[in-house]
Protein backbone atom coordinates (compact mmCIF):
# COMPACT_ATOMS: atom_id res chain seq x y z
CA UNK A 1 0.00 0.00 0.00
CA UNK A 2 0.95 3.66 -0.10
CA UNK A 3 3.59 4.89 2.29
CA UNK A 4 3.78 8.16 4.21
CA UNK A 5 3.59 11.14 1.89
CA UNK A 6 4.73 14.69 2.54
CA UNK A 7 4.13 17.91 0.67
CA UNK A 8 5.79 19.99 -0.54
CA UNK A 9 9.03 18.14 -1.15
CA UNK A 10 10.89 21.44 -1.12
CA UNK A 11 9.94 24.80 0.33
CA UNK A 12 11.96 27.99 0.05
CA UNK A 13 10.79 30.95 2.07
CA UNK A 14 12.06 34.23 3.39
CA UNK A 15 12.93 34.99 6.97
CA UNK A 16 9.87 36.05 8.91
CA UNK A 17 7.34 34.25 6.71
CA UNK A 18 4.84 31.58 7.78
CA UNK A 19 5.02 28.03 6.36
CA UNK A 20 2.88 24.91 6.52
CA UNK A 21 4.20 21.42 5.92
CA UNK A 22 1.79 18.57 5.31
CA UNK A 23 1.99 14.88 6.19
CA UNK A 24 -0.33 12.11 5.03
CA UNK A 25 0.29 8.95 7.09
CA UNK A 26 -0.14 5.34 6.09
CA UNK A 27 -3.84 4.49 6.05
CA UNK A 28 -4.97 3.03 9.35
CA UNK A 29 -2.02 4.29 11.36
CA UNK A 30 -3.18 6.02 14.51
CA UNK A 31 0.17 7.41 15.61
CA UNK A 32 1.97 10.21 13.76
CA UNK A 33 5.35 11.80 14.47
CA UNK A 34 7.31 14.81 13.27
CA UNK A 35 11.11 14.95 13.30
CA UNK A 36 13.62 17.53 12.12
CA UNK A 37 16.93 16.57 10.48
CA UNK A 38 19.71 19.11 10.15
CA UNK A 39 22.58 18.56 7.75
CA UNK A 40 24.88 15.77 8.88
CA UNK A 41 22.73 14.89 11.88
CA UNK A 42 20.22 12.24 12.80
CA UNK A 43 16.53 13.11 12.99
CA UNK A 44 15.39 14.85 16.17
CA UNK A 45 11.93 14.31 17.62
CA UNK A 46 9.50 17.22 17.54
CA UNK A 47 5.97 16.01 18.32
CA UNK A 48 3.81 12.89 18.51
CA UNK A 49 0.09 12.54 17.86
CA UNK A 50 -2.12 9.70 18.99
CA UNK A 51 -5.32 10.18 17.05
CA UNK A 52 -6.21 13.86 17.00
CA UNK A 53 -4.34 14.89 20.12
CA UNK A 54 -0.72 15.90 20.55
CA UNK A 55 0.37 13.38 23.17
CA UNK A 56 3.97 14.61 23.38
CA UNK A 57 5.18 17.97 22.05
CA UNK A 58 8.34 18.10 24.15
CA UNK A 59 10.57 18.35 21.10
CA UNK A 60 9.09 21.53 19.64
CA UNK A 61 11.92 24.09 19.90
CA UNK A 62 9.76 27.12 20.74
CA UNK A 63 6.28 28.56 20.40
CA UNK A 64 6.80 29.46 16.74
CA UNK A 65 6.26 25.78 15.97
CA UNK A 66 2.80 24.25 16.11
CA UNK A 67 1.21 21.12 14.66
CA UNK A 68 -2.34 19.87 14.22
CA UNK A 69 -4.08 16.67 13.22
CA UNK A 70 -7.75 17.63 13.31
CA UNK A 71 -9.29 14.43 11.94
CA UNK A 72 -6.72 11.95 13.17
CA UNK A 73 -5.18 11.42 9.75
CA UNK A 74 -3.39 14.22 7.88
CA UNK A 75 -1.17 16.46 9.98
CA UNK A 76 0.17 19.95 9.34
CA UNK A 77 3.30 21.38 10.91
CA UNK A 78 3.14 25.15 11.09
CA UNK A 79 6.10 27.46 11.58
CA UNK A 80 5.56 31.14 12.24
CA UNK A 81 8.10 33.93 11.72
CA UNK A 82 10.62 31.56 10.17
CA UNK A 83 14.30 32.00 10.97
CA UNK A 84 17.35 30.86 9.02
CA UNK A 85 18.04 28.32 11.74
CA UNK A 86 14.76 26.58 10.89
CA UNK A 87 16.29 25.36 7.63
CA UNK A 88 16.31 21.57 7.73
CA UNK A 89 14.53 18.50 6.42
CA UNK A 90 11.25 17.92 8.24
CA UNK A 91 10.37 14.24 8.41
CA UNK A 92 7.01 12.72 9.20
CA UNK A 93 6.51 9.13 10.35
CA UNK A 94 3.51 7.02 11.26
CA UNK A 95 2.95 3.76 13.10
CA UNK A 96 -0.03 1.46 13.50
CA UNK A 97 -0.26 2.29 17.18
CA UNK A 98 1.85 3.83 19.91
CA UNK A 99 5.13 1.97 20.30
CA UNK A 100 4.97 0.21 16.95
CA UNK A 101 7.63 0.60 14.29
CA UNK A 102 7.69 4.05 12.74
CA UNK A 103 7.67 4.35 8.95
CA UNK A 104 8.99 7.57 7.49
CA UNK A 105 8.00 9.78 4.60
CA UNK A 106 10.42 11.37 2.12
CA UNK A 107 10.59 14.63 4.05
CA UNK A 108 10.16 18.32 3.22
CA UNK A 109 13.36 20.29 2.73
CA UNK A 110 12.77 23.76 4.16
CA UNK A 111 15.15 26.56 3.25
CA UNK A 112 14.78 29.93 4.94
CA UNK A 113 16.64 32.70 3.13
CA UNK B 1 19.96 9.91 29.85
CA UNK B 2 19.44 8.12 26.57
CA UNK B 3 22.00 8.42 23.85
CA UNK B 4 23.08 6.64 20.67
CA UNK B 5 26.65 6.87 19.41
CA UNK B 6 27.78 5.97 15.91
CA UNK B 7 31.47 6.70 16.03
CA UNK B 8 32.12 5.95 12.36
CA UNK B 9 31.24 9.04 10.37
CA UNK B 10 32.06 7.60 6.98
CA UNK B 11 33.18 4.20 5.67
CA UNK B 12 34.35 3.40 2.15
CA UNK B 13 34.61 -0.14 0.83
CA UNK B 14 34.95 -1.86 -2.50
CA UNK B 15 32.09 -3.99 -3.75
CA UNK B 16 31.94 -7.53 -2.28
CA UNK B 17 33.76 -6.52 0.90
CA UNK B 18 32.06 -7.13 4.23
CA UNK B 19 31.47 -4.07 6.38
CA UNK B 20 30.32 -3.57 9.99
CA UNK B 21 28.63 -0.42 11.22
CA UNK B 22 28.95 0.17 14.95
CA UNK B 23 26.26 1.41 17.31
CA UNK B 24 26.61 1.98 21.05
CA UNK B 25 23.67 3.07 23.15
CA UNK B 26 23.01 4.42 26.64
CA UNK B 27 19.80 4.01 28.58
CA UNK B 28 18.71 3.62 32.19
CA UNK B 29 15.61 1.72 31.18
CA UNK B 30 15.61 -2.07 31.38
CA UNK B 31 13.09 -2.35 28.56
CA UNK B 32 13.97 -0.64 25.32
CA UNK B 33 14.00 -1.09 21.57
CA UNK B 34 16.78 -0.71 19.05
CA UNK B 35 16.43 0.07 15.36
CA UNK B 36 18.42 0.48 12.20
CA UNK B 37 17.24 2.70 9.36
CA UNK B 38 18.79 3.27 5.93
CA UNK B 39 18.70 6.70 4.28
CA UNK B 40 19.63 6.49 0.58
CA UNK B 41 20.38 9.65 -1.42
CA UNK B 42 16.65 10.07 -2.09
CA UNK B 43 16.33 11.01 1.59
CA UNK B 44 13.60 8.67 2.79
CA UNK B 45 14.39 6.69 5.93
CA UNK B 46 13.88 2.99 5.27
CA UNK B 47 13.21 0.70 8.24
CA UNK B 48 15.57 -2.27 8.45
CA UNK B 49 15.16 -3.90 11.85
CA UNK B 50 13.70 -3.56 15.36
CA UNK B 51 14.92 -5.50 18.39
CA UNK B 52 13.68 -5.45 21.96
CA UNK B 53 16.02 -5.53 24.92
CA UNK B 54 14.97 -9.02 25.98
CA UNK B 55 15.95 -10.64 22.71
CA UNK B 56 19.71 -10.88 22.30
CA UNK B 57 19.61 -13.38 19.49
CA UNK B 58 21.53 -12.30 16.45
CA UNK B 59 19.44 -11.75 13.36
CA UNK B 60 20.24 -12.44 9.73
CA UNK B 61 18.27 -11.22 6.75
CA UNK B 62 19.91 -12.01 3.44
CA UNK B 63 23.22 -10.12 3.32
CA UNK B 64 22.36 -8.16 6.47
CA UNK B 65 23.05 -9.32 10.01
CA UNK B 66 22.82 -7.69 13.40
CA UNK B 67 24.75 -8.42 16.59
CA UNK B 68 23.09 -7.27 19.81
CA UNK B 69 25.25 -7.42 22.97
CA UNK B 70 23.75 -6.00 26.14
CA UNK B 71 27.04 -6.49 28.01
CA UNK B 72 28.68 -3.85 25.82
CA UNK B 73 25.49 -1.88 24.99
CA UNK B 74 26.11 -2.41 21.32
CA UNK B 75 23.91 -3.22 18.35
CA UNK B 76 26.19 -3.59 15.35
CA UNK B 77 25.13 -4.07 11.76
CA UNK B 78 27.09 -6.10 9.21
CA UNK B 79 26.59 -6.12 5.46
CA UNK B 80 28.13 -9.15 3.78
CA UNK B 81 29.36 -8.93 0.19
CA UNK B 82 28.49 -5.24 -0.09
CA UNK B 83 26.97 -3.85 -3.26
CA UNK B 84 26.89 -0.35 -4.77
CA UNK B 85 23.17 -0.15 -3.91
CA UNK B 86 24.10 -0.38 -0.23
CA UNK B 87 25.60 3.12 -0.43
CA UNK B 88 23.58 5.27 1.98
CA UNK B 89 23.61 6.80 5.43
CA UNK B 90 22.68 4.29 8.11
CA UNK B 91 21.13 5.35 11.40
CA UNK B 92 20.89 3.44 14.64
CA UNK B 93 18.07 4.49 16.97
CA UNK B 94 16.75 3.76 20.46
CA UNK B 95 13.36 4.07 22.11
CA UNK B 96 12.61 3.40 25.75
CA UNK B 97 9.58 1.53 27.04
CA UNK B 98 8.36 4.44 29.15
CA UNK B 99 8.43 6.70 26.10
CA UNK B 100 8.13 4.60 22.96
CA UNK B 101 6.91 7.60 21.00
CA UNK B 102 10.32 9.11 20.65
CA UNK B 103 13.16 7.62 18.62
CA UNK B 104 16.63 8.79 19.66
CA UNK B 105 18.91 8.63 16.65
CA UNK B 106 22.66 8.50 16.32
CA UNK B 107 24.43 10.84 13.93
CA UNK B 108 24.60 8.20 11.23
CA UNK B 109 27.35 6.43 9.30
CA UNK B 110 27.76 7.21 5.61
CA UNK B 111 28.66 4.04 3.70
CA UNK B 112 30.12 4.34 0.23
CA UNK B 113 30.51 1.17 -1.79
CA UNK B 114 32.68 1.54 -4.85
CA UNK B 115 32.48 -0.80 -7.86
Q: Summarize pLDDT for B75-91 with one digit per residue, the tens.
A: 999 999 999 999 999 99
Nearest CA in chain A to B100: A99
Q: State the pLDDT at residue A1.
A: 56
Residue B57 CB-density burial (10 A; 0-12 exposed, 13-18 middle, 19+ buried): exposed
Helix, strand, coil tally for chain B in percent (to 5) = 5, 55, 35
Q: Mutating which of B36, B38, B88, B102 best tests the A interface, going by the most A Cβ atoms within 10 A?
A: B102
- CA A104 from centroid of its chain's CA atoms: 10
Average pLDDT, chain A: 95
Low-confidence ranges of chain A (pLDDT < 70): 1
pLDDT band at B58 (very low <50, low <70, confident <90, very high): confident
User: Which of B4, B44, B103 is nearest residue A102 as measured by Cβ atoms?
Assistant: B103
Is the pLDDT reported for residue B100 higher than 80?
no
Q: What are phi and psi of A102, to 5 degrees?
A: -90, 135
Q: State the pLDDT at residue B1.
A: 78
A105 contacts on B by Cβ (under 8 Å): 44
Size of the A and B interface in Cβ pairs below 8 Å: 58
Please state, in angstroms and as integers, the Cα–Cα distance from residue A83 to each residue in A80, A87, B55, B83, following that order. Answer: 9, 8, 44, 41
Q: State the pLDDT at residue A99.
A: 86
Is the pLDDT reported for residue B113 higher than 60?
yes
Q: Which pLDDT tens digit goes with each residue over A42-74?
A: 999 999 999 999 889 999 999 999 999 999 999
Question: What residues does A13 pair with on adjacent strands?
Answer: A112
A107 in contact with B, Cβ within 8 Å: yes
Q: What's the gap in Å between the CA of A17 and the closest CA on chain B?
A: 25
Q: What's the gap in Å between the CA of A82 and the closest CA on chain B?
A: 23
Amino acid sequence: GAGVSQTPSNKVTEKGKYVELRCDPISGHTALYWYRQSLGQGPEFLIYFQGTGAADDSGLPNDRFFAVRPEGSVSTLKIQRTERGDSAVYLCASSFDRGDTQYFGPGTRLTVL
Amino acid sequence: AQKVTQAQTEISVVEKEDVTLDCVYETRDTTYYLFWYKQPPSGELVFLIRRNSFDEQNEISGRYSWNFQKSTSSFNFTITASQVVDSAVYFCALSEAYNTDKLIFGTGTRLQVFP
